[in-house]
Amino acid sequence: MGFVSLGKSGLKVSRACLGTMTFGNTEWGTDESESQRIVDTFIDAGHNFIDTADVYNAGVSEEFVGRAIAKKRDGVVLATKGYNTMGDGPNDRGSSRVHLTRALESSLRRLGTEYIDLYQLHNWDHDTPIEESMATLDGFVRSGKVRYIGCSNFYGSQLVEAQWAADRQGGAPLVSLQPQYSLIWRDIELDILPTATRHGMGVIVWSPLGGGMLTGKYTKRDDLPADGRLSRGSDMEAEGMRMLTLTDRNFEIVTEVSKVAKDLGATPTAVSLAWLLNRPGITSIIIGPRTVDQLDQNLAGFELALPLDSAKGLSRISRPSVSYPWYMQLQM
């Protein structure tokens, strides 16, 4: 597979990025022994990029990752994120200097490392001036505790504001964006992805299988697999996600993915990842296996040569709806 530069930086990352949100989840996730096996298998397969966050399972994911890479730290590009609520106090969340400083120190301790290769704002903080957040991140880079900085879940306009703030202050810019993107969630193509591209940012995709929808295990709205991600939870958030995801349009996409997979002798998972890997502007794809077997299935997608006709067919059937003002600009 080789390695690619993360945006305009000199940092080389693998096209596959190991996501570790499942590590340490006691209900549906991965215990430490299997987490270690997943990390070892991923690295032995020639990949170097691992992503976590302080909020994943209340810090347990970072602890598992830290111990798993302890003997091979220099060969790993380690990414983590800060922003989310990590305590009961008013300054225990957000992108303020106070919280980010605490968050970074806690992540370094849990990960058992002296530096983070890529430290990311997990979300936009409406309560903190972006100038304060960017100045804080620049301070982390200058201190040597962070090598590069990025963000996740930003709008296009927020990316611009962050980069302008860094430029005005003479500080380190964001080198990457981590957005949701897949055959069923292509919204970023309208504004966010072009903005990231114009600013020379690497794009690290999360949820490339649409929460499991594109694995082929979901075939009927009223017959969900017991072990599926979309089957979990009965609260309003879980019900809302099912309502957004289990749509007629998305089932049509899944049917086409399964057809292409059958024609190629591949799995729907591999086809979905192969389509995404060749989309313009995409640097790396985060996969989140719960087992080594799932990891192997995911990595097959990075080796699959998807025929051009198949890729075009998948792009046609999954084309996102376009609202104002994008439809005005696209017809010009």
Is 148 in the active site? no
CB distance 166 to 134 below 8 Å: yes
Give the pLDDT of residue 61.
98
Q: Give the side-chain half-sphere CA count within 13 A for 27.
A: 8
- Contact criterion met (CB below 8 Å) for 18 and 44: no
Q: How far apart are the C-alpha atoms of 89 and 301, rounded to whole Å?
A: 43
CB proximity list for 215: less than 8 A, separation 6 or greater: 209, 267, 268, 269, 272
> Phi/psi at 191 (nearest 5 deg)?
-145, -45
With 0.85 as the threshold, say if the pTM is over it.
yes
CA-closest candidate to residue 313, choices 245, 277, 260: 260
Q: Give residue 332's pLDDT.
A: 54
> What CATH superfamily is the domain 3-212+266-312?
NADP-dependent oxidoreductase domain (3.20.20.100)
**Of these residues, 56, 83, 181, 218, which one is catalytic?**
56
| Token code pair at residue 256 | 């086409």
C-alpha to C-alpha distance for 112 and 73, rounded to whole angstroms: 10
The full DSSP string for 70-91 is GGGGGG-EEEEEE-S--SSSTT
Mutual orientation of helices 308-317 and 268-277 as an angle, nearest 10°? 90
- pLDDT at residue 323 in the model: 84
Contact between 272 and 310 (Cβ < 8 Å) = no
Backbone angles phi and psi of 225, in degrees to 5: -65, 140
Burial of 87 (0-12, 13-18, 19+ CB in 10 A): exposed
pLDDT in tens, the chain (332 residues): 689 999 999 999 999 999 999 999 988 889 999 999 999 999 999 999 999 999 999 999 999 999 999 999 999 999 999 999 999 999 999 999 999 999 999 999 999 999 999 999 999 999 999 999 999 999 999 999 999 999 999 999 999 999 999 999 999 999 999 999 999 999 999 999 999 999 999 999 999 999 899 998 877 665 666 666 665 666 666 666 677 787 889 999 999 999 999 999 999 999 999 999 999 999 999 999 999 999 999 999 999 999 999 999 999 999 988 888 887 776 65
